[in-house]
Structure 1
């Protein structure tokens, strides 16, 4: 080992647990999941850990905020199994996803710049004549299923009118705008129940402030995730160095 941490100070499960506000059962669970290297055993069968295990636990807990529990687990398992390139691939995928989320945020902000406020007293002011688009073409344009648009309608995200002759849903410009925003916000991780009041407020108030506030929060979360990835990388690098 790089610094012989595996053969140094002996630690009990409770020693690792207390350092991070965990239960001893959580430490044992992490070992069983492959997040920690296998523990040593005393003559009586009790687990013993080392500073290297403490370093592994610190690395895992630092990785979770940036990569999520599942990916952080897979990263640590790959490292402990000696498949470091797989760990790096998982890290690269997380960074690629963060970049995609940033691009999605930029797309939403761009969509917002194109929005025309709709006065509260004229909810259908964005209708440009009797025309409109049907559910199939709109779903195809957004790259989603028609069933998804129907689900969004039930959640209040879009409000298509019905063609009086055929009964088909007809989406006017305002509906297309709302569908685009819903689509982008869903990609950004927002739930339907979070999106619905934002779109409703934009319709009612004729302004974009509710969405702008949400976007500031979204941007802040992306920045926090990026910084958490940096912190996780530093802890993982220290663990890799100590493993030798």
Structure 2
């Protein structure tokens, strides 16, 4: 709990809340979470915030779009506890994640370009067995089984024979995995890329979504800059 305030500029919870379109309960929740420093109290026991609390709230709200709620909360909590080095480490990790996401996007774009250049055998409507697919890709059947165990390729099983059957989506995933492996990517690095294709519903929808993906990463990077500026202002205000 903060110290009693007898003088100086005082701000009520509603003053901070109105400035950002928040509820007064949200402001109190932020204080309890350590996002804001502990508020002082008036002689009557009411919370009394200061311009420093307003700076903290602006910094937190600016950090949110670039870093997300959990990381932004941890950054502010670290600063308010005097662990500025920990706050910087969290920011560095967030920037590293953004860089990794950019690399993921480039890898997907590269794989899609390679798939476009590589002539593909039209898929069998009934599916392809492991032997023919392995020969088509120039890999061993054991390699396809390894990719399956890693979750990169999901063949179905023939109900009568139990043999693996690769439908169009499984063949697509196998071709993409093959291209990325040739590019030097590890299986654990390929998994999120294949997931992106699956979530988009295929390569064509994903291609159409790449521009939006670029935009979102750029917006996140710019938001991080805005958050850094507001956090620096808060650090200066803290002295």
Fold agreement, TM-score > 0.5:
yes
- CA–CA separation in structure 2 for the residues paired with 1:187 and 1:131: 21
- CA–CA separation in structure 1 for the residues paired with 2:17 and 2:195: 32
How far apart are residue 187 of structure 1 and its match? 5.1
How many positions carry a matched residue from both structures?
214
1:167 paired with 2:169, answer no
Aligned-CA RMSD value: 3.6
How far apart are residue 138 of structure 1 and its match? 3.9
How far apart are residue 211 of structure 1 and its match? 2.1
User: Cα gap change, 1:242/1:32 in structure 2, threshold over 3 Å: closer, same or farther?
Assistant: same
State TM-score, norm by structure 1: 0.74
Q: Which residue of 2 aligns with 1:51?
A: 51
Note the alpha carbon deviations across 1:104-141, whole angstroms, 9 max, x for none.
1110000000114899xx43399797242788734745
User: Cα gap change, 1:131/1:13 in structure 2, threshold over 3 Å: closer, same or farther?
Assistant: closer
Gapped regions of structure 1 (runs ≥ 5): 1-6, 154-158, 203-207
Gapped regions of structure 2 (runs ≥ 5): 1-6, 181-188
- Indicate if the aligned counterparts of 2:111 and 2:176 stay in contact, CA closer than 8 A: no
- CA–CA separation in structure 2 for the residues paired with 1:160 and 1:80: 54
Q: Which residue of 2 aligns with 1:3?
A: none
Q: Which residue of 1 aligns with 2:211?
A: 216
Moved more, 234-243 or 171-180: 171-180
Q: Which residue of 2 aligns with 1:80?
A: 80
Q: Which residue of 2 aligns with 1:89?
A: 89
- Indicate if the aligned counterparts of 1:13 and 1:47 stay in contact, CA closer than 8 A: yes
Q: Which residue of 2 aligns with 1:67?
A: 67
State TM-score, norm by structure 2: 0.75
Moved more, 233-242 or 168-177: 168-177
- CA–CA separation in structure 2 for the residues paired with 1:86 and 1:163: 55
- CA–CA separation in structure 2 for the residues paired with 1:234 and 1:24: 25
1:231 paired with 2:233, answer no
Q: Which residue of 2 aligns with 1:205?
A: none
- Indicate if the aligned counterparts of 2:59 and 2:231 stay in contact, CA closer than 8 A: yes
Q: Which residue of 2 aligns with 1:176?
A: 174
- SS class of match (1:148): coil
User: Cα gap change, 1:46/1:124 in structure 2, threshold over 3 Å: closer, same or farther?
Assistant: same
- Give structure 1 regions of 4+ aligned residues with deviation exceeding 2 angstroms: 116-119, 122-141, 145-149, 159-166, 168-175, 177-181, 183-192
